[in-house]
Structure 1
Amino acid sequence: MKTNNKLKIFNDPIYGFITIPNSDIFDLIEHKYFQRLRRISQMGLSYLVYPGAHHTRFHHAMGCMHLMQKAINVLRFKGVVISEEEEKALYIAILLHDIGHGPFSHAMEHSIVNGISHEDISKHFMRKLNEEFNGSLTLAIKIFEGKHHRPFLCELISSQFDMDRADYLKRDSFYTGVAEGNINSERLITMLNVVDDRLVVEEKGIYSVEKFLVARRFMYWQVYLHKTGLVAEQLLVRVLKRAKELSNSGVQLKSSEALSYFLNNEITAKNFTDDTLETFSRLDDSDIVWAMKQWQYHDDFILKNLCDMIINRDLLKIKLKNKPIKPSTLNKHIDDLIEKYNISRDDAKYFVFIDEISNQAYQSENQNIKILQKTGKVVDITKASDQFSIKALSKPVTKYYICYPK
């Protein structure tokens, strides 16, 4: 009888060899829900700006698990007691923390599902998997939801310095080629410790933390909130909204069965059932790309042009401002479009719109990064750092933008 070797090794371009810690984790990685992450882009449509940014949520989840292994080894070496059950739960929680993302990561939750975030969908996936794996995910779910009695376990999954951020900054920097985002996540992890069941960074790691926060700010302005990436994601949201609008009015659109389900049904947190989850699990980037390739030849003026803009990367023009866009400016562009194409004001608003973006690299009021001084005192990074810029990074910076046809 053929037996499957479950102690696999992955070769990762960031960290080198990543080992799967045990056979239960291997079985989870092998599951179709997790394998779907191979078909979900980590950075949405950012590859329209940075051609190398084609890495997936699967890459990221595996990287996070690797860093979690490092963190557990470091903490145990420093005398922090972590049981085998807690170790396994941490691996499961970090592996599955992004499993609820839809196609192109964030566009779905702003268009064809309402009032339910990817975090909520991740919980649905975890509970379903917990049934299949005979309750072995119970502790992982508790940690993921922040309900464990040892807070530092939850902070390793979700905090201002967690294994999620430690991986995505380094990984996204690598694949985009934006060197400013490259952080020394291994050194940061080596500096971790636990005091009173809370995660802290030892004082000698303070400069690495400063670099981490500055890198995060750079990555948001240069990559995650890059104006071309913003336009592309806004267009994708509008494609899905228009497709849903047309479907609701009885127009038959070519699409996969899974996508068709979400276009023809109003999905909210209240009616997100196991059947809905199963259909959601069949959705990935390819469903959306294939649909847009068909829809760019549709009779509908809005759907046709929105899809054509994304498929052929002929996007809207975008202007960023430090002050809110004047209503007169918005109305002028809307009026110009109405006059040129003889369309309604509501239709024109698909192509002319305003919004705002905000960047706050460090949220000092929420799960702050604590520095363990040599005296044994624990203080917030803003008080421990001699850099004025760290205090500045805790203030949100808001920019405003307008999009309109070239």
Structure 2
Amino acid sequence: MATPNKKKILNDPVYGFITISTELLFDLVEHPYFQRLRRIKQLGLSEYVYPGALHTRFHHALGAMHLMGQAMSTLQSKGHTINSDECEAAQIAILLHDIGHGPFSHVLESCLLDNVPHEEISLLLMHDLNQQFDGALSLAIRMFDGTYERPFFHQLISSQLDMDRMDYLNRDGYYTGVAEGAIGAERIIKMLDLVDDKLVVEAKGILSVENFLNARRLMYWQVYLHKTSICAESMLIQILRRARFLIRQAGAEPVFAPEPFRIFLQESVTLADFQTNQLYISAFTHLDDFDVWFCIKQWALHTDAVLSTLCQMLLDRKLFKIMLSAEPFAGELLLELENQLRRMGLPDDMISYFLVEGQATNAAYMPSEDHISIKLKTGRVIDIADASDLSNIQVLTNIVRRYYVCWAKELTLIDTSVNQ
């Protein structure tokens, strides 16, 4: 029997051809943990704003792996010793960096789990895969968690100029049609270099980095924190909140949910639970966007008026209205919105599901976390904020906050009990 060819070439709309360069990378792509990412959209509910935003975490992870391969080639071409095991491990680490995302990615991260970041679940799943592959992922894990002695590998995986951000800005801009997402990733990668095993950018790449930072700021306001996306995401969170309340309430009408999904609705699952009980890992790796959408369609027929109304509104794109402000909203405004909902016949104990406050923050560059370092022609290394002649680079370090309140401006509670 012929040995299957595991060195594949894939056609990607953003980069053209992407190569899966080793058998281990191929086997990881084929693994059910990674294939699940096909069923998790990259941008959650952004398709409610940008109809083309239908790409998945699967696309993104492959793109980031491709960029990592380019970065390895660039650094090797500049005389830095990076062996084949390190190249493969770096690609594995970035390929699996999002494997811990749950349904709707960031939208439900704090809703389904009890303060468990997706990076922690990614690390747990990588350890699980490492056992399944007889320790072949050990080096990749060290790069991912920052314990490998060559720090630039971790910087390429997770920093303010990493392969993750380079891919999602380009990819999200492509699929949404927002031209500001185009960042010239190939040029930035060609400008990468190392000083004392730490990542730097050659001085002639300053303009590309400036464009990258500006693109990130614009993409956050135009795509990731778009006001319509905030409304849709707020509704989804309230749907899950109501379903969880009903499931946990004794005597309430049963709320349908597949067993893996029900576990996370019934329980407050912590990182310690994941670490000590394989049940939660198994359940989590069976969850994707399809589970949530199927439940939303079922819950639209539930006798609970809050749950059915929210679900039907989201299905029909009858979204909340939203108001944005640079300052927190006055109590008088919130009281008036509550009174509007009361006048529509909404009882006090239901108001919080149809009136949501929050804040969105955006900072394109945070030098306090880690630096984007520029290597001058003299060999001196300085921060991009000091190297750039654009005054707005310093401005990009400021955290911008926008407060929002969204509410159901027009509301008729659905009473499905009459049809039961």
- Per the TM superposition, whether the score is higher than 0.5 is yes
1:314 aligned to 313, 318, 331, which one? Answer: 318
1:276 match: 280
Shift of residue 256 of structure 1?
Answer: 1.9
Q: Secondary structure at the match of 2:106?
A: coil
Give matches, 1:359-378, under 5 Å: 359-378=362-381
Q: Aligned pair 1:297/2:336, yes or no?
A: no
Instruction: For 2:310 and 2:268, locate their aligned partners in 1 and report how far apart those are by CA, in whole Å.
Output: 22
Instruction: For 1:274 and 1:21, locate their aligned partners in 2 and report how far apart those are by CA, in whole Å.
Output: 32
1:384 match: 387
Shift of residue 14 of structure 1?
Answer: 0.4
Instruction: For 1:9 and 1:23, locate their aligned partners in 2 and report how far apart those are by CA, in whole Å.
Output: 13
Instruction: Note if contact 2:306-2:350 (Cα within 8 Å) is conserved in structure 1.
Output: yes
1:285 match: 289
1:354 aligned to 345, 348, 357, which one? Answer: 357
Shift of residue 2 of structure 1?
Answer: 4.8
Question: TM (normalized to structure 2)?
Answer: 0.95
| Per-residue CA distance 1:156-207 (angstroms, 9 max, x = gap) | 0000000000100000000000001111000000000000111000000000
Q: Secondary structure at the match of 1:161?
A: coil
Stretches (4+) displaced over 3 A: none
Instruction: For 1:405 and 1:115, locate their aligned partners in 2 and report how far apart those are by CA, in whole Å.
Output: 28
Q: Secondary structure at the match of 2:369?
A: coil
Shift of residue 229 of structure 1?
Answer: 0.4
Q: Secondary structure at the match of 2:406?
A: strand
Q: Secondary structure at the match of 1:115?
A: coil
Instruction: Note if contact 1:330-1:354 (Cα within 8 Å) is conserved in structure 2.
Output: no
1:266 match: 268
1:81 match: 81
Q: Which amino acid letter does the alignment assign opposite residue 260 of structure 1?
A: R
Q: Which amino acid letter does the alignment assign opposite residue 363 of structure 1?
A: M
Shift of residue 365 of structure 1?
Answer: 1.3
| Per-residue CA distance 1:352-405 (angstroms, 9 max, x = gap) | 121111110011211110000000000000110000011111111111111111
Instruction: For 1:257 and 1:8, locate their aligned partners in 2 and report how far apart those are by CA, in whole Å.
Output: 36
Instruction: Note if contact 2:234-2:356 (Cα within 8 Å) is conserved in structure 1.
Output: no
Instruction: Note if contact 1:112-1:244 (Cα within 8 Å) is conserved in structure 2.
Output: no
2:405 aligned to 399, 402, 406, which one? Answer: 402
1:197 match: 197
| Per-residue CA distance 1:224-282 (angstroms, 9 max, x = gap) | 00000011111111111111111011442122222122222221112122221111111
Instruction: For 1:247 and 1:31, locate their aligned partners in 2 and report how far apart those are by CA, in whole Å.
Output: 33
Instruction: For 1:197 and 1:55, locate their aligned partners in 2 and report how far apart those are by CA, in whole Å.
Output: 35
Instruction: Note if contact 1:35-1:58 (Cα within 8 Å) is conserved in structure 2.
Output: yes
Instruction: Note if contact 2:110-2:116 (Cα within 8 Å) is conserved in structure 1.
Output: no
Q: Which amino acid letter does the alignment assign opposite residue 256 of structure 2?
A: K
Instruction: For 2:64 and 2:402, locate their aligned partners in 1 and report how far apart those are by CA, in whole Å.
Output: 31
Instruction: Note if contact 1:107-1:233 (Cα within 8 Å) is conserved in structure 2.
Output: yes
Q: Which amino acid letter does the alignment assign opposite residue 387 of structure 2?
A: A
- Show structure 1 runs of 5+ residues with no match: none
* Paired positions, count: 405
Q: Secondary structure at the match of 1:401?
A: strand
| Per-residue CA distance 1:25-70 (angstroms, 9 max, x = gap) | 1011100000000000000000000000000000000000000010
1:100 match: 100
Instruction: For 1:114 and 1:282, locate their aligned partners in 2 and report how far apart those are by CA, in whole Å.
Output: 18
Q: Which amino acid letter does the alignment assign opposite residue 242 of structure 2?
A: R
Instruction: For 2:200 and 2:346, locate their aligned partners in 1 and report how far apart those are by CA, in whole Å.
Output: 61
Instruction: For 2:307 and 2:83, locate their aligned partners in 1 and report how far apart those are by CA, in whole Å.
Output: 54
1:331 aligned to 324, 328, 335, which one? Answer: 335
Instruction: Note if contact 2:155-2:162 (Cα within 8 Å) is conserved in structure 1.
Output: yes
Instruction: For 1:232 and 1:327, locate their aligned partners in 2 and report how far apart those are by CA, in whole Å.
Output: 24
Instruction: Note if contact 1:200-1:372 (Cα within 8 Å) is conserved in structure 2.
Output: yes
2:21 match: 21
Instruction: For 1:347 and 1:94, locate their aligned partners in 2 and report how far apart those are by CA, in whole Å.
Output: 43
Shift of residue 128 of structure 1?
Answer: 0.6
Q: Secondary structure at the match of 2:357?
A: strand
Give matches, 1:216-231, under 5 Å: 216-231=216-231
Q: Aligned pair 1:340/2:344, yes or no?
A: yes
RMSD, matched Cα: 1.1
Q: Aligned pair 1:238/2:238, yes or no?
A: yes
Instruction: For 1:107 and 1:395, locate their aligned partners in 2 and report how far apart those are by CA, in whole Å.
Output: 24
Q: Which amino acid letter does the alignment assign opposite residue 119 of structure 1?
A: E
Give matches, 1:108-123, under 5 Å: 108-123=108-123
Instruction: For 1:119 and 1:3, locate their aligned partners in 2 and report how far apart those are by CA, in whole Å.
Output: 35
1:127 match: 127
Instruction: Note if contact 1:110-1:237 (Cα within 8 Å) is conserved in structure 2.
Output: no
2:157 match: 157
Instruction: Note if contact 1:111-1:238 (Cα within 8 Å) is conserved in structure 2.
Output: no
1:256 match: 258
Q: Which amino acid letter does the alignment assign opposite residue 149 of structure 1?
A: E
Q: Which amino acid letter does the alignment assign opposite residue 172 of structure 1?
A: D
Q: Which amino acid letter does the alignment assign opposite residue 401 of structure 2?
A: T
Instruction: For 1:36 and 1:158, locate their aligned partners in 2 and report how far apart those are by CA, in whole Å.
Output: 22
- Show structure 2 runs of 5+ residues with no match: 410-420
Instruction: Note if contact 1:330-1:353 (Cα within 8 Å) is conserved in structure 2.
Output: no
Q: Secondary structure at the match of 2:142?
A: helix
Instruction: For 1:238 and 1:125, locate their aligned partners in 2 and report how far apart those are by CA, in whole Å.
Output: 29
